[in-house]
Amino acid sequence: MPKRYNWQLGREMDYPFEAPPPARQVAYVFDTNKCIECQTCTVACKTCWTSGKGQEIIFWNNVETKPYGGYPLEWDTRLLAKTGPAAWKGTTLVTPTVFETEGDKQPPNGHRPAVDDYSSPNVGEDDITGTIEMGAAFSGVHPMWMFYLARICNHCDHPACLAACPRQAIYKRDEDGIVLIDQERCRGYQECVRACPYKKTFFNVISRASEKCIGCFPRVEQGQVALCVESCIGKIRLHGFLTTRGEPRPDNPLDYIVKIRKLALPLYPQHGTGPNVYYIPPVHVPNGFLEQLFGPGVEAAKTMYRKLADDRQLLGALLLSGASQRIITRFEVKGDEVLGWAENGDEVARVPFTEPVYIRKHYDEVHNVYRHNTT
Ligand code: SF4
Ligand code: SF4
Ligand code: SF4
């Protein structure tokens, strides 16, 4: 099997295709510390892209509560039960990826959920890891935890869905790395559903074809962020491109956060697909759990996050989350502001580090009204 270098694993790995990296790679940073599980992202995607017949229990974007939630049910723990826990030597993965466990010329290691596994998309919502002793919640700190994990297709560097498709119906676009399923070519064999470690391809029982998040490509082609990014209430999401040919650029917010500072980490990197949604780990959750989810960089990322207030370049890049409908490809911290520019050079974001406070007079003589300073 051909070998490919996987930078997230610090080593080469088997992958059944030889293809150059795309000209650039669409990527996202999600800050788990800020997600409130309002599901606005889920509804935005659903109403725009998956409101048709056969899509009733299909959510290209979902938000689940960890550790117990999962859509489809147990999507991750069922695969982990087959692969075993990941082991790392420093930043190099020593356990096999899903492409390396089954042997040469075999499809990636995986499992296919049952239809019913999709019917409880928010199972486990807000469940914490155990019972809190009476009164402990008022003492400030208790050991129980949970957090919200927002999930979309990762538009992987080495997609397992693509590798598994016997019809070559799945392709990765050269211009932005978005992974798409050709609905005309798909015959509904569901090999992609079985192979995707994140269960982000879905079988539509009416169209008899598989489908998945399209990365909002019609918007991306116009320079706009994805709908699930634009609609995010918590401003936890930043959408952009990673540099794939050449060195990461410090003035590219995605390159800076993901590749240079390594504040945001890939989800289950041990599976080897090179996922491109990068998560800032929740600072209150124990490392043992998080390291299985996000790999060996968890503690360093948490430490960096706790010191963000003194790290203006990194904080500035993060402040661009939710700051513009346009994709920001360049940023700069200037004085007390961070500025972001779109690809065509337009300035599309200007965010102050300190939100200004305006105190209005209680009584407005011009309009003869009384005002509260609460908005
Ligand atoms: S819209 Fe944003 S804050 Fe709300 S659930 Fe989605 S990712 Fe979380
Ligand atoms: S997340 Fe799954 S569906 Fe998306 S590109 Fe990766 S392997 Fe394919
Ligand atoms: S990128 Fe677009 S298609 Fe994909 S989950 Fe977000 S809103 Fe849905």
Decide if 350 is inside a domain: no
324 Cα–ligand 2 center, Å:
26
122 lines ligand 1 (CB under 6 A): no
Decide if 101 is inside a domain: yes
196 lines ligand 2 (CB under 6 A): yes
19 Cα–ligand 1 center, Å:
34
Decide if 224 is inside a domain: yes
SS3 sequence, the chain? CCEEEECCCCEEEECCCCCCCCCEEEEEEEECCCCCCCCHHHHHHHHHHCCCCCCCCCCCCEEEEECCCCCCCCHHHHHHHHHCCCCEECCEECCCCCCCCCCCCCCCCCCCCCHHHHCCCCCCCCCCCCCCCCCHHHHCCCCCCCEEEEECCCCCCCCHHHHHCCCCCEEECCCCCCEEECCCCCCCCCHHHHHCCCCCEEEECCCCEEEECCCCHHHHCCCECCHHHHCCCCCCEEEEEEECCCCCCCCCHHHHHHHHCCCCEECCHHHCCCCCEEEECCCCCCHHHHHHHHCCCHHHHHHHHHCHHHCHHHHHHHHCCCCCCECCCEEEEECCEEEEECCCCCEEEEEECCCCCCCCCCEECCCCEECCCCC
**For residue 41, which atom of ligand 3 is closest to its CA?**
7
Decide if 360 is inside a domain: no
214 Cα–ligand 3 center, Å:
6
Q: What is the pLDDT of residues 103-123, one digit of tens each?
A: 666 788 999 999 999 999 999
98 lines ligand 2 (CB under 6 A): no
263 Cα–ligand 2 center, Å:
22
What is the reported pLDDT for 374?
64
| Among 31, 41, 48, residue to substitute to test ligand 1 (most atoms within 8 Å of Cβ) | 41
143 Cα–ligand 3 center, Å:
35
**For residue 34, which atom of ligand 1 is closest to its CA?**
3
What is the reported pLDDT for 292?
97
Give the least confident one: 39-48, 82-91, 128-137, 311-320. 128-137
45 lines ligand 3 (CB under 6 A): yes
119 Cα–ligand 1 center, Å:
21
What is the reported pLDDT for 355?
87
Print the domain residue range for 194: 3-287
233 lines ligand 1 (CB under 6 A): yes
CB 241 within 8 A of CB 21: no
| Among 227, 232, 325, residue to substitute to test ligand 3 (most atoms within 8 Å of Cβ) | 227
Query: What does pTM read for this prediction?
Result: 0.95
Give the least confident one: 241-255, 284-298, 334-348, 358-372. 358-372
95 Cα–ligand 1 center, Å:
33
What is the reported pLDDT for 133?
83
Q: What is the pLDDT of residues 1-30, one digit of tens each?
A: 788 999 999 999 999 888 889 999 999 999
The CATH code of the domain that includes 250 is 3.30.70.20
Range 163-170, long-range pairs (CB < 8 A, 24+ positions) = 163/15, 163/16, 163/17, 163/99, 163/107, 163/108, 163/195, 164/107, 164/108, 164/110, 164/191, 164/192, 164/194, 164/195, 165/189, 165/191, 165/192, 166/191
Decide if 235 is inside a domain: yes
Q: Predicted confidence band at 359 (pLDDT cuts at 50, 70, 90)? A: confident
The CA-based dihedral angle spanning residues 311, 315, 317, 318, taken in that order and rounded to the nearest 10 degrees: 150
Query: What domain count does the chain have?
Result: 1
Decide if 231 is inside a domain: yes
Decide if 88 is inside a domain: yes
What is the reported pLDDT for 105?
67
pLDDT at 375 over 60: no
Parallel/antiparallel/unpaired status of strands 147-151 and 265-266: unpaired
Q: What is the pLDDT of residues 228-250, one digit of tens each?
A: 999 999 999 999 999 999 999 99
The CA-based dihedral angle spanning residues 81, 87, 92, 98, taken in that order and rounded to the nearest 10 degrees: -20
| Residues 123-157 as b or e (16 or more Cβ within 10 Å = b) | bbbeeeeeeeeeeeeeeeeeeeebbbbbbbbbbbb
Decide if 80 is inside a domain: yes
104 Cα–ligand 1 center, Å:
40
Q: What is the pLDDT of residues 119-170, one digit of tens each?
A: 999 999 999 999 888 887 787 778 899 999 999 999 999 999 999 999 999 9
| Among 58, 71, 152, 156, residue to substitute to test ligand 2 (most atoms within 8 Å of Cβ) | 156
